[in-house]
Amino acid sequence: MRSDRPILLADIGGTNARFALLGNDDQGPHAVRRSPCDDYSGLTEAAEDYLSAVDGPRPAGAIVAVAGPVSAGEFTLTNSGWRISPAQIRKSLNLSDLVIVNDFVAQAMAVPVLSGRDLRQLGPGAARAEAPVAVIGPGTGLGVASLVRCAGQWQPIEGEGGHVTYSPVTDREMQVAASVRDRYGHCSAERLLSGPGLALLHETLARLNGAEIAEPLEPETVVRRARGGDPRAREAVTLFLDGLATAAGNLVLTLGASGGVYLCGGILPRLGALLDPAAFRRRFEEKGRFAEYLAAIPTYLVTAEEPALRGLAFIVRQRRPRGR
């Protein structure tokens, strides 16, 4: 992807589509814009709307992050329902080059370019240099990825780790998981550890308590009520964070991610004081004989704006020939 024309960066989540341009000056993404996916029928329409609103030449190529598994042919995004056809996108946008990656590959590839002001460390631990890194984050779904160092470059490892089976620890969590299984057949981690999952946790707690449910709350409403001291909302947030901490600890053990675990997504920074580092670390490290192993590994909350776009820009930079 080398041209005097810019490169289009696109991060397509389950709720929002984010676009930016990347020039050859290594100044990072610029002309950033976010739009609801529901406003468009698909990626091409959303990209054309964005490009019509920015000045300068049309992009020569594009790199796109999408929420869901990526295949060579046509595929459908997990949460937005958009149909993705690489050939049609390349033709419609007149692109000489198009790269499509999983959205959490983009999130993971932001880690090497994040600075201290982009992160909040939760509790103790020190990262081992150039060791594997784990990335996990709740949004419309639950994203999971990792990074490994290979031949002097960072290489992402993608997967669909959000769809592993939820791992309850306490009796209350087992009650919740059983209720969700009865309703959906399978209780995945994403089913509870995501924005919609937080709303489902609140609803499930109400059902378990025999309370009347007028209609499910939006995740933002659950957070707002929890911050205001509402007991059921606070319990939902506690179960959400405890479950995420357990999932993060499982991921680190699976990957040997002594480079640290990075918590991404738009939900966590909005929790404020509800995200207690000590409580999070307690559940993160609660692994029996391997508690000491996990105690040495740091956990970071990513607070940067649009990290996926920065990750896409870093992918482009790594792909460019050295010295250019």
Q: Tokens for 298? A: 């740091």
3-state secondary structure of 31: strand
Q: Tokens for 18? A: 């984010």
In a domain, 30, yes or no: yes
The one-character DSSP state at 18 is: E
In a domain, 19, yes or no: yes
Q: What is the pLDDT of residues 175-214, one digit of tens each?
A: 999 999 999 999 999 999 999 999 999 999 999 999 987 7
64 and 173 share one domain: no
199 and 153 share one domain: yes
In a domain, 48, yes or no: yes
Q: What is the 3-state secondary structure (H, E, C) of 48-86?
A: HHHHHCCCCCCCCEEEEEECCCCCCCCEECCCCCCEECH
149 beta partners = 154
At residue 321, does pLDDT exceed 70? Answer: no
What does the buried/exposed string (b/e) look like for 141-170 if buried means 16 or more CB atoms within 10 Å of the residue's CB? bbbbbbbbeeeeebebbbebbbbbebebee
The whole-chain average pLDDT of the chain stands at 93
158 and 43 share one domain: no
Mean pLDDT across the stretch 72-99?
85
- Backbone dihedral angles phi then psi of residue 256, each to the nearest 5 degrees: 65, 40
- Tokens 């810019």 identify what position? 6
125 and 260 share one domain: yes
Is 231 or 76 the better-scoring residue by pLDDT? 231
Model pLDDT, residue 79 = 65
53 and 121 share one domain: no
pTM (whole model) above 0.75: yes
Cα distance between residue 134 and residue 108, in whole Å = 8
Q: What is the pLDDT of residues 17-33, one digit of tens each?
A: 999 999 987 678 999 99
Q: What is the pLDDT of residues 257-299, one digit of tens each?
A: 999 999 998 899 999 999 999 999 999 999 999 999 999 999 9
At residue 2, does pLDDT exceed 90? Answer: no
Dihedral angle, C-alpha 25, 28, 33, 39, nearest 10 °: 100
In a domain, 232, yes or no: yes
223 and 278 share one domain: yes
At residue 130, does pLDDT exceed 80? Answer: yes
Model pLDDT, residue 83 = 86
Residues 6+ apart with CB under 8 A from 294: 249, 252, 253, 284, 285, 287
At residue 1, does pLDDT exceed 90? Answer: no
Give the least confident one: 60-69, 141-150, 257-266: 60-69
What total of structural domains would you count in the chain?
2
CATH number of residue 186's parent domain: 3.40.367.20
Radius of gyration for the alpha carbons in the chain, expressed in angstroms and rounded: 20
178 and 283 share one domain: yes
In a domain, 109, yes or no: no
38 and 87 share one domain: yes
297 and 315 share one domain: no
Domain extent for 264: 115-303
- Confirm if 54 and 21 have CB atoms less than 8 A apart: yes
In a domain, 158, yes or no: yes
158 beta partners = 145
Model pLDDT, residue 324 = 47
In a domain, 94, yes or no: yes
CA distances from 256 to 103, 141, 162, 189, 250 (A): 22, 24, 18, 20, 10
298 and 311 share one domain: no
144 and 253 share one domain: yes
Q: How many residues does the chain have?
A: 324
310 and 299 share one domain: no
CATH number of residue 11's parent domain: 3.30.420.40
In a domain, 46, yes or no: yes
Mean pLDDT across the stretch 100-126?
95
Model pLDDT, residue 322 = 60
